Amino acid sequence: MTLPPPSPAVASPCIKVCVLDARQVCVGCGRTIDEIAQWSRLTEEQRREVVDRARQRCSQAAS
């Protein structure tokens, strides 16, 4: 039985534009202040979820 290769690590979505809006969401990456603070302690699955939510926030802000 061969195991599938491990999934690549989830990279931080930070783009070095660290400015929070009134909702405490970064205008650069779309993460909340809590998501940013907890990033280093999250599992890979939790990081994927954060990245998905951040993308949704960014796309909503752009429309």
Would 32 be classed as within a structural domain?
yes
Q: Has residue 50 got a pLDDT over 80?
A: yes
CA of 55: how far to CAs of 3, 32, 43, 61, in Å? 31, 12, 18, 10
Q: Are the C-beta atoms of residues 38 and 47 closer than 8 Å to each other?
A: no
Domain that holds residue 49: 16-63
Would 3 be classed as within a structural domain?
no
Would 11 be classed as within a structural domain?
no
The tens digit of pLDDT for each residue in 5-44 reads 777 789 999 999 999 999 999 999 999 999 999 999 999 9
CA of 48: how far to CAs of 2, 22, 32, 51, 63, in Å? 25, 25, 14, 5, 23
Would 37 be classed as within a structural domain?
yes
Rounded to the nearest 5°, which phi and psi values hold at 32?
-75, 165
Domain count, the chain: 1
